[in-house]
Structure 1
Amino acid sequence: TGGKAMDLIGGGAKNYTQFLKFLGDKKPFGSPFQINFPIPSKADFPGMEPGSDKAHPCNSTDERYKCACVDCAASCPELPSVKEAHECKVGVLPCLSFAVIIVYSVFLFLLILAVSGHVAYAKHTKSRNERLRLLQDASPSDDEDEGDIVHQAGLLEKPTRSYPLNTVCDRIFSRLGRTAANFPAITISSSVIVVALLSLGWMRFTVETDPVKLWVSPDSEAAKEKAFFDKSFGPFFRAEQAFLVNDTLSTGPGPVLSYDTLNWWFDVENRIRRMKSINGGYTLDDVCYKPTGDACVVQSLTGYFGGDFDLVDPDMWAEDLEACAETPVNCLPDFQQPLNPRYLFGGYNGSVINSTAIVVTWAVSNHAEGTFELERAMDWEESLKGLLLTVQEEASEHGLRLSFNTEISLEEELNKSTNTDAKIVAVSYLIMFLYASIALGATTLTVRDVLNNPANALVQSKFMLGVVGILIVLMSVSASVGLFAAAGVKATLIIAEVIPFLVLAVGVDNIFLIVHEFERVNISHADEPVSERIAKALGRMGPSILLSATTETVAFALGAAVGMPAVRNFAAYAAGAVFINAILQVTMFISILALNQKRVEAGRADCFPFIKVKGADSNSMAIAGMPGLAGIEEEGSLQRFIRKTYAPALLGKKTKTAIITIFLGFFTIGLALLPNVELGLDQR
């Protein structure tokens, strides 16, 4: 029963008089008639003398008389005292938080002191120079430069220093861009073939939904112990639970038990016993856990009455239920194991009749993954879920609320969440299609151009270029999934939900950088061939793309060293997707960009390159939409704001100091709160 031996044998007796009373009470599976033992008084019993036998304490050193630890606390071995972990604190703050705050405060004080000293010294120097100038009384010379003072000197362009690594990368990417622009058909077809071959791994694509295999490393001690237990004793049984509560009252939770409720719930359990699964026609008797005999383990209050409502007395049901809860051994269910009331009732103080909730548990036999028995159990659980959904509606009609969970509930809820998120992914990609197409076209197409000559919009639009950019992101995700699926790395639902957004963000950024740099080259080198302009643009942006892609790939690859399977697999898939995406951007996308530029200069419509737009401005086509040099002055409002307002303000000396101080403060707050981070997963 999981309880104490004397509670089973003696009904929870605390002394010998209570023990004798329990033995003498007339009850089923007990005394067949009432036996009343006289309570002893101080007077001696005539004709009776004390026995000469010696009584032994429950913690006797003699093993013949020593009681078990569960029945005698004195016989329990004395355990060493638990050493409480010493936590360093200064007042209410952990030592780390206190130290970080002190260091930041000292830094802030020194910074304020240094700035104040610098300002005071500058004022003193300026005042001294003015006094010296007045004493010298020097007249201004005509040769002195009286031109305008250059403000914000930090914004002036300075000659850039040449770095060997940057020069080598520039040459390599220039050559790569020139090759991709000169041979677009070969580059595009090769990229598509490679992605298609990698995507063949989708045939071995599997999703891991078992929470244990997702979040527990197979090399961890807990996983090894579970594997040993499953191998030695078989997998732990599967639990299906239903929770019936009465919280529909305006005054708060109330008692859930009544004669009518019992009548209805007995019928529900009988329906569950007779229910056949949808696919295989299996019943509870086919899949249930049977530790003793042929009876299924069902922990329910109906077991106190043998599962038969005819044994429930309309007038005495409360007293009978109370008696069974007090002495479960007298009301054994058909699987002959006492039902502990703590596992059946909830929200009660004293009498179980006032319980605000009842819990019912069906134990189902568990088996190794991939076996027929496991599939049979999951089939029955699926049918049970459907029946309990119907019972939920019946419960509301009785003024109650039914909640339940089956062993397959977690996986089904995760799949349900993924199916819902699929719509979000589709909508997000559609929005990025539109945004990328409009924003890429805005680099060469202004509102004034459209109003002056609407035909230019048909040519200079980059909708197809944006579509290809997004397709490259999808291709990289598909290739990465296929590659690792072929390698036997199982995907997780996190991969399906997160990686498309992750690669989309990284991929679109690089596409904008390449296109914007190419448009700048179109303006400065308008008379050169398209392939040379592509080479110059990629030569300038290639090193940045290489460094960012390398950093991101290495960062995710390091995550693949984590033992937790969900994190490890996610990191591997993400690293592959980011790496493949970067390669496709500097090869396939460059070829598409070159073809798109040739289309623009030929005056052909976007998305329909076989149609030549006659009304388009030929001067505009020459340098990709810039009508002469006048178009250079037409920059977007965002670009104008960044160039004239944001950048000068950001690069000011005072602003730099303030920004560094503020963000260092955020970093300090993060470090100070680090001791409050809790490890583990939220069970909710």
Structure 2
Amino acid sequence: MALEKTGANPEMKSPGLLRRVSSRFIGGFEYLFYQHGYTVCRHPYLYIVSVLAITVACGIGLLNFHQENRPFKLWIPQDSDFVKTYDWMQDNYPREFRFENAIVTAENVLEPAVIQEMLRVHQRVSAVPGAGPAWSDVCARLPSLAAPEDEVYEAEDEVPDPSLVSEDSQTDSAVAEARRRRRRRQASQRPEFDVSGYDDFDPSVSLPTSLHCMLVEGMERPCWEASLLELWRFNERRIANLTREQVLTAVNTAAYSPVFGYRFNVSRYLGGVQRNSTGHVVSAGAAFFAWAVRRDPDAENVIVSDTGTGEPVCLFQVDENTLLFENHFLSVLSSAPSLHGVTWYYSAGKSFGEISNSTIFGDVKYLVLGYVVMFIYIQLMLGRCNMVEHRTYLSIIGVASVGLAVVISFGLCSALGVFFGPVHNILPLLLLGLGVDDMFVVLQCWETLPAADRHRPLPERVGRALQHAGVSITVTSLTDFVAFGIGASTVLPSLQSFCIYAAVGIMAVYFIQATWFVAWFTLDQRRIEARRDGLVPCYTHRNWAPNTCSQRNYFQNFFSRVYAPAVLSVPGKVIVLVVTCALLAVNSWGLSELRQEFNPLWFLPTDSYLSMYHRSVERFFPNEGHEGVVFLSGLHLADNLPQMALLSQKLRAEPSIEHVDSWYDEFQFYINYNEYGELPERFADGYEFLPLLGQFMFSPRGGKYQSFIQFNGTLTCGEPAPPITASMITFTHRLMDGPRQQIPAMVRVKELVNSVNFTGEAPLVQPLAEAYASWETDQVIEYELYRNMGLAMVCVFVMVLLLIANLTVCLLVLTCVLVTLVDVGGLMHFWGLTIDTVSCIDVVLAIGLCVDYAAHVGHTFLTERGDRRQRAADTLRDIGPAVFNGGFSTFIAFVFLATSTSHVFVTFFKVFFGVTVYGLFHGLVLLPVLLSLVGPEPYLPARTDMELVSGEEKRAARQEGDAVREEDGTRPAQTDISDVKYAPAVADAHITAMA
């Protein structure tokens, strides 16, 4: 009946239930946007001031701005085993040392000239700086078990310095002689447990307790500096006279450090080692250095967080000096001359945090450059090339509106306590792309107003333009908001924080573009219609006529006359479908090969000194595994000795572990060998445990384990050890090939540790390794990515279906989004990216942008009249330029990131390159082809003044308007904007008709 009344073509479809429900919803939406645009146009200054006031109010929240760079707080689920154990360690087992590391490389670091260069750097680091403490003031000190006369003498049988030899003590001589015999024998054998020392002399067993403790108290405590220079005791005169043969002899025969008396493992100090046929070292490409700086974990007062490691560095007493020394250390190493082909790579305790902080704002130049180029492009696209109609100031306002959105987003999120992370610095670029996209849609709807509407009062014209643009930008903004809202539910803190910032920012952009930008556009349009100059608005061109060239829309003509006929022709459709299938096939394979892997070190710029240091470690020390510890607390160890033995046994049996260092294993042999008892069985008297443990802690073999055990009191030589509150066992994972091996290894270690049944009131037995931070992220990141994508796609589908209100078009839009995501995933693999937190964030962003490109086209298609092909062609003509401008402007905003050294920016560039290229291809090429083939038939609601006219009427009206314009060269006169009778009546009629 409705079709008969309207005289419609019987092939036209009547609106179904979904369409009728949505029509009522969208009709109300269009009415609201018309009224909104009408009101903004009448009161532009009110909206401008209101938006500024809201921005300032939100900006107050920046006073609570919190920047987070600690990897453990950014990339790891906060309910994970790693975070719980790490927090426990920080509270109960704080680290005592910070290490400053360096690697020296040369063609052969065992040349005497290179050794001498190492000494010069050592001396510069040890020298008293102009400001700050000397190395001796901040160094960690270790007791030396090496007697002075135990120095390794050179081939010329140099006589030792008599001042270093005690002539008053026969005990000293006995100790020295026993040590010499022991070391000569141990130099030729290295069993897993070096027990030969017990045969000759152990002062903790052989000497009276008082004499042993006297020896311990009299031990020299040199600074803990680990390097090859230990072999010559950092002696300048001796090193200056070294020959190559002497260097090789020392390196190949060293079993113990002449400085500390502990075993000296040369392989841990040399990289790129070359050996001869007998297995002796003949050359090396790198040597490792380490300086240990002591920290006071009990220091009070103000604490500054080292944002790279999360370790507290106290600005009090020695810890303030620690930071000053690290500045001195970095200054020395950065200025070390490259003599004899020597190159230094270095890392300080503060390096990661310092570089991470600088990286966040270090690439601001790329943001600024992107904004500048974006502004130029907007200027070219928004205005016309004549003195009146160019929109220079409106372009500035458009870019500034994104700045307001950034302030609102950052201010609100900071006020709510949401932290700002290293990935968040891409937000301005993201919001710029989305904001410019909305701006182009608004301007495109203004430009495509029918000629009949161009002579209406300005408020009506602005309302009419916003009526059509409002629904379109609402679809894309809400879908983006939903996508990021889903992302905010993730367990990854950095992704969660970013999604909250982005969701707030997207809604802020939407709000500002619909108010602030429309208000400024109104003022700019008033200026144009009053013929005031574009650069000097106070000057009016009285006899101005626009040049003919500036009145032609070449871009829209290209889409209408060239692009649409080519793509929608039969050969064009075939080519599009074949290319789409080929890209999908190739990228589907690439997506299947995409692996997950995350490393916080990727956040370092590739040209930073810390990144180069880690690359040198990978190159010269590739066999260094991942160190870890097993913490034990809440146990009565005397009752859990069999469990301690079982834990060590299981750790050594684990294939992924190559080395275990357990204080209990050494203690067990110490007790059994010296016939103090039989472990791991219980002592006959439980109280024997602590006295014997105290004796062991001051033995040559047990001294190194003092830092492995935390006592409830002071450990004193000659007295029983205080009760144990916590202890640890260290282990080293073998090098493994990526998460496929690392994650199962981590899981097995956790399982075997939990399988040992320790007893106690509240036993804690938990493994921890710094590598587990990345491995636990790898364990969940892939699941989180696909979970977020799946939920986002479901929510986006519902939103698009509600707002577009056509199941066929909605499915086609979602198809384009899915195909784009698959192609982007394949491109990530081919471009060397992995699934990590940054790429996970970028893919969530990609969902929003992909929907933007396709939803604009799908929504416009439903408003056109004619057959499928004609409607697809009209869609490309009417919305194609805006979609392309939005995508291309986003592309040119981030294209300069290709030269960045930041992992965040480089990943963002690579992913968004794929998003814009594939997204525009599927939105402006594939989707029109699909719509022309299987798109729905047009609906025919009752005709009203608010209804979009057909494509033929549009073209006729546009040609009529262009002819009038070219004939008299005038613009529509400024109309009295007080006439408001049109809006309510027509909008109500439209709603009634759509219902």
> Would you say same fold, with TM above 0.5?
yes
CA displacement, residues 553-585 of structure 1 (integer Å, 9 cap, x when unaligned): 111222222222222222221111111001100
The question of 1:328 aligning with 2:255 is answered: yes
Separation of aligned partners in 1, 2:320 and 2:445: 58
Letter matched to residue 236 of structure 2: F
Give the C-alpha shift of residue 345 in structure 1: 1.1
The question of 1:172 aligning with 2:32 is answered: yes
The question of 1:536 aligning with 2:464 is answered: yes
Change beyond 3 A, Cα 1:669–1:375: farther
Structure 1 window deviating more from structure 2 (518-527 vs 636-645): it is 518-527
Q: Is the 8 A contact 1:491 1:569 kept in 2?
A: yes
- Please give the residue correspondences for 1:277-676 in structure 2 after superposition, counting only pairs within 5 Å: 278=131, 281-290=132-141, 292=143, 294-312=221-239, 314=241, 318-319=245-246, 322-323=249-250, 325-329=252-256, 331-333=257-259, 335-348=260-273, 349=275, 350-365=279-294, 368-369=311-312, 371-372=314-315, 376-391=321-336, 394=337, 396-442=338-384, 445=385, 457-496=386-425, 498-521=426-449, 523-617=451-545, 635-652=552-569, 655-656=572-573, 658-676=575-593
Separation of aligned partners in 2, 1:353 and 1:309: 23
Give the C-alpha shift of residue 360 in structure 1: 0.6
For 1:79, the equivalent position in structure 2 comes to none
SS in 2 for 1:433: helix
The question of 1:188 aligning with 2:114 is answered: no
SS in 2 for 1:242: strand
For 1:21, the equivalent position in structure 2 comes to none
Computing the radius of gyration from Cα coordinates, the structure with the larger value is 1
Give the C-alpha shift of residue 665 in structure 1: 4.2
SS in 1 for 2:341: coil
TM-score (norm 1): 0.66
Give the C-alpha shift of residue 643 in structure 1: 0.6
Separation of aligned partners in 2, 1:375 and 1:515: 58
Separation of aligned partners in 2, 1:220 and 1:428: 39
Change beyond 3 A, Cα 1:385–1:312: closer
CA displacement, residues 67-121 of structure 1 (integer Å, 9 cap, x when unaligned): xxxxxxxxxxxxxxxxxxxxxxxxxxxxxxxxxxxxxxxxxxxxxxxxxxxxxxx
SS in 2 for 1:219: coil
Separation of aligned partners in 1, 2:442 and 2:130: 58
Separation of aligned partners in 1, 2:398 and 2:344: 50
Letter matched to residue 500 of structure 1: P
Structure 1 window deviating more from structure 2 (197-206 vs 522-531): it is 522-531
Change beyond 3 A, Cα 1:200–1:533: same
SS in 2 for 1:521: coil
SS in 1 for 2:369: helix
CA displacement, residues 240-266 of structure 1 (integer Å, 9 cap, x when unaligned): 2211111xxxxxxx3222333323322
- Pick one of 71, 75, 98 that aligns with 1:238: 98
Change beyond 3 A, Cα 1:313–1:613: closer
Q: Is the 8 A contact 1:299 1:339 kept in 2?
A: no
- Please give the residue correspondences for 1:147-162 in structure 2 after superposition, counting only pairs within 5 Å: none
For 2:113, the equivalent position in structure 1 comes to 260
Separation of aligned partners in 2, 1:328 and 1:315: 19
SS in 1 for 2:312: coil
For 2:812, the equivalent position in structure 1 comes to none
Give the C-alpha shift of residue 177 in structure 1: 1.0
Give the C-alpha shift of residue 370 in structure 1: 5.7
Give the C-alpha shift of residue 501 in structure 1: 1.1
The Cα RMSD (Å) is 2.9
Separation of aligned partners in 2, 1:202 and 1:244: 44
Give the C-alpha shift of residue 197 in structure 1: 1.0
SS in 2 for 1:669: helix
Separation of aligned partners in 2, 1:294 and 1:547: 71
Separation of aligned partners in 1, 2:554 and 2:14: 28
Give the C-alpha shift of residue 354 in structure 1: 1.4
Separation of aligned partners in 1, 2:554 and 2:330: 58
Structure 1 window deviating more from structure 2 (259-268 vs 577-586): it is 259-268
Separation of aligned partners in 2, 1:635 and 1:236: 73
Separation of aligned partners in 2, 1:472 and 1:159: 42
SS in 1 for 2:476: helix
Q: Is the 8 A contact 1:322 1:353 kept in 2?
A: no
SS in 1 for 2:534: coil
Separation of aligned partners in 1, 2:592 and 2:320: 45
Separation of aligned partners in 2, 1:438 and 1:203: 38
Change beyond 3 A, Cα 1:566–1:365: farther
Separation of aligned partners in 2, 1:186 and 1:319: 86
Change beyond 3 A, Cα 1:282–1:213: farther
Aligned residue pairs: how many?
490
For 1:124, the equivalent position in structure 2 comes to none
Separation of aligned partners in 2, 1:499 and 1:184: 28
Separation of aligned partners in 2, 1:285 and 1:499: 46
Q: Percent identity among equivalent residues?
A: 24
Change beyond 3 A, Cα 1:157–1:539: farther
Change beyond 3 A, Cα 1:320–1:505: closer
Q: Is the 8 A contact 1:556 1:572 kept in 2?
A: yes
Separation of aligned partners in 1, 2:120 and 2:282: 20
SS in 1 for 2:35: helix
For 2:940, the equivalent position in structure 1 comes to none
- Please give the residue correspondences for 1:106-117 in structure 2 after superposition, counting only pairs within 5 Å: none
- Pick one of 216, 225, 228 that aligns with 2:85: 225
Q: Is the 8 A contact 1:599 1:609 kept in 2?
A: yes
Q: Is the 8 A contact 2:37 2:463 kept in 1?
A: yes
Q: Is the 8 A contact 2:480 2:503 kept in 1?
A: yes
Give the C-alpha shift of residue 217 in structure 1: 2.6
Q: Which runs of 5+ in 1 are unaligned?
A: 1-155, 247-253, 446-456
For 2:870, the equivalent position in structure 1 comes to none
Separation of aligned partners in 1, 2:488 and 2:294: 36
Change beyond 3 A, Cα 1:522–1:387: farther
CA displacement, residues 606-643 of structure 1 (integer Å, 9 cap, x when unaligned): 243322222323xx6xxxx9x8xxx99x5333322211
Q: Is the 8 A contact 2:112 2:247 kept in 1?
A: no
Letter matched to residue 501 of structure 1: L
Separation of aligned partners in 1, 2:13 and 2:351: 64
Structure 1 window deviating more from structure 2 (262-271 vs 420-429): it is 262-271
CA displacement, residues 254-294 of structure 1 (integer Å, 9 cap, x when unaligned): 3222333323322321221224374xx12323433345574
SS in 2 for 1:562: coil
SS in 2 for 1:197: helix
Separation of aligned partners in 2, 1:365 and 1:679: 37
